[in-house]
Chains A and B, each alone.
Chain A
C-alpha cells in the first residue's frame, strides 16, 4: 500500500530536549515536505526537499532542521524544542509524475511543556 508514515504519532516533551520525528514514504517520490498545522493558520511549510541532499526552507523554518540522506526518509529535528513549537506536524511526499499532488502522513501531535 502506498503510504507516508510518521513516528511518533503523539509526543509530549520538555523544553530543550532534542527530538526527532521520522517520516518515510514508499512511493519513490522525489519531493518531501514538513508542515505544521495551527488553528486559524492552516498549514505552514517548514522545510521541503526536492531530492536526496537537496533541501530548502519553507515559510517557518526557525527552530527546525531536516536532512535527506535517503530518498524515502525525511526526518524533522527539533534541537531545542520550545512551547511555541507545540503543534500538529504533517509530512508529505509528491512527485513530478503525479503533477505534484501531495500525499500526507497521519500527523504527529507534539506538546512541548
Chain B
C-alpha cells in the first residue's frame, strides 16, 4: 500500500536561511513523487516532480528536492527562504507501475518564514 509521511506539522525559518520540508514515502512499485504548494485561500500549485533520472530535481520559485531511494525520502529544499514562501506544502506519491492513478498526499507541512 502507498503512504506518505510529512513528519513536521510546521516548519519555522528566518528569511534568508535555508529551508527543508521533509517527506518520506512507501510504495510497492516505482515511485512518482511530487511537491505541491497551497497559498492561503488558493488552490494547489505544482512545484516539482521526480519520475526518473537525476536524483536532484529543480522546480518553481527556486525550490529543489532530492530523491533518496535507500531512505525512501523526497525532501523539499530551498537555499534562501523568502517571507512569500510561507504556505502549506504537500508531498504526494503515485505508484508508477500499477497503471492506475491512485495518488496519496501527505498531511501537509505549514511553512512560516519570518522577516
Which range holds the interface residue count of chain A? 20 to 34
User: Known contacts being A33-B103, A104-B43, is A99 close to B51, with CB within 8 Å?
Assistant: yes
Asked if A101 and B34 make an inter-chain contact with CB atoms under 8 angstroms apart, the answer reads yes
Asked if A53 lies at the interface with its beta carbon under 8 angstroms from chain B, I say no
Can you list 10 contacts pairing A with B, beta carbon distance less than 8 Å?
Answer: A42-B6, A45-B104, A48-B101, A58-B102, A90-B44, A99-B32, A100-B32, A102-B103, A104-B36, A106-B43
- A-B pair number, CB within 8 angstroms: 65
User: Known contacts being A100-B32, A101-B34, is A90 close to B43, with CB within 8 Å?
Assistant: yes
Bound: A31/B43 CA distance, A: 18
User: Known contacts being A45-B102, A56-B102, A99-B49, is A107 close to B108, with CB within 8 Å?
Assistant: no
User: Known contacts being A50-B101, A90-B44, A107-B43, is A40 close to B107, with CB within 8 Å?
Assistant: yes
Asked if A105 lies at the interface with its beta carbon under 8 angstroms from chain B, I say yes
Interfacial residues, chain A to chain B (CB-CB below 8 A): 31, 33, 35, 40-45, 48-50, 56, 58-59, 90, 92, 94, 99-107
Chain A residue with Cβ nearest B46: A101
Asked if A104 and B45 make an inter-chain contact with CB atoms under 8 angstroms apart, the answer reads yes
Asked if B101 and A33 make an inter-chain contact with CB atoms under 8 angstroms apart, the answer reads yes
Bound: A81/B101 CA distance, A: 26
The A interface, classified by DSSP as helix, strand, loop or mixed, is strand
Contact partners of A31 in chain B: CB under 8 A: 101
Q: Count residues on chain B whose CB falls below 8 Å from chain A CBs.
A: 23
Bound: A58/B2 CA distance, A: 12
Contact partners of B45 in chain A: CB under 8 A: 104
Bound: A71/B94 CA distance, A: 22
Smallest CB separation, A13 vs chain B (Å)? 22
Contact partners of B42 in chain A: CB under 8 A: 106
Chain A residue with Cβ nearest B101: A48
Contact partners of B32 in chain A: CB under 8 A: 99-100
Contact partners of B6 in chain A: CB under 8 A: 42
